[in-house]
Amino acid sequence: FGSHNYVGHVKLVNEKALTDSLVLDEVEIASSRRILVHVQTRVSSLYGPVMKLYIWDKAAAVFCEKFKALGKPPTIIDHIGHIAGALSLSSLSSSRVFFDMDVQATRECLAWYVFESNTEVANRVNAEIVTKAETATIGELLSYMKQEGAKVAWFECTSTIDDIVCDSAWYYIACGGCKTKATKGPTTLMCKKCGKTEIVGAAEYLTKLSVYDNNDHASFVLLGDAGRELTGMKASELVESYFEANESVGDDQVVPVPPSLTDSIGQTRTIVIKVSKHNLDGKTQSLTVTKVLPLKVPALKGNIDEDVEEEPADEKDGAADGTVKRNSDGIESGETKRAKCG
């Protein structure tokens, strides 16, 4: 925790691009009590990484008021206040939000941005969204979930992978566009989120890991890019390679847990964990993995320097209904069976 002053270029508001027609959903903001702003911070005379800035409660209401009063999406934001977790900003009275021409800091940053835009420096954005997460043990994570008033937050946790839990498939079939769980229609796959009645499905990680540290055990759920960071391959690539190596199997064949996943058993990894609303509501104790940091590989001299989706709502109770089929268009889904270890 601490008081910080963040000044930067606004890239997204509640994951929506800044256009003149952008209107904030005040009902949704009042319900969730927060606003998510992607901000590209300024580091010295250069742009830094894009960071997720969560603005909570009273500060979120002030953001809405200032946004409407400005009459157009802001270019620069300056937040002064206390933070916790992955840049989750509290609603303390000291939290303040300023736009564009409000204060000297935003005026200077706006002038710098306009100048650098002409030299295209402002468009050099680090594509990876960087979040600052507090370090926590498994026991501290489990304790945090039970705290009254706890909010969605991200933590770094170092733990050892004990096993790949095989009580359900290690992947699910997602919409190839938005990654939401695909729904099986009469003859095609559909996506409720995209509103499409015919989509191409793609396998995505939904892998439950049993992990432990010095004192506690827990279940972590590996999703999307985090799975690729652990295994080095996308889930769709692993599924395709299985069928390519087993041409005689039927299209409804169960895809076993691949060696690239089982090989991770015994590894001690630093993992970024999201404590989600489902955790805080007591609906699940399994924690979502949003990032797996690289292993520290020793070099001859010194060490090599080291260089995110919440679990789909429908996946809380199991994998998607669908088996992976091979075709020239990609991966489609039929009827999924439970994965087997092997």
Please, what is the average pLDDT of the chain?
71
Task: Count the neighbouring beta carbons within 10 Å of the beta carbon of residue 247.
Answer: 7
Please say if the pLDDT value at position 110 is more than 70.
no
DSSP state of 128: S
Please say if the pLDDT value at position 1 is more than 60.
no
CA-based R_g, the chain, Å: 22
Share of the chain above pLDDT 70, in %: 61
Give the model's pLDDT for residue 337: 35
Domain boundary assignment for the chain: 2-130, 134-333
User: Which residue, among 142, 125, 166, has the nearest Cα to 256 in the 3D structure?
Assistant: 166
Please say if the pLDDT value at position 93 is more than 80.
no
Class of domain 2-130: mainly beta
User: Which residue, among 110, 74, 79, has the nearest Cα to 97 in the 3D structure?
Assistant: 79
d(CA 303, CA 299) in angstroms, rounded, equals: 5
Please report how many Cα atoms fall inside a 13 Å half-sphere around the Cα of residue 151, on the Cβ side.
16
- Model pLDDT for residues 281-307, shown as the tens digit of each residue: 889 999 999 889 888 765 555 443 444
CA distances from 8 to 36, 47, 48, 105, 107 (A): 14, 8, 9, 10, 11
Tokens of 172: 């699910």
Residue whose token pair is 């590989």: 297
DSSP state of 105: H
For the four alpha carbons of 134, 156, 277 and 279, in that order, the dihedral sign comes to: negative
CATH number for the region 134-333 comes to 2.40.50.140
Please say if the pLDDT value at position 335 is more than 60.
no
Q: How confident is the model at residue 207 (pLDDT cuts 50, 70, 90)?
A: very high
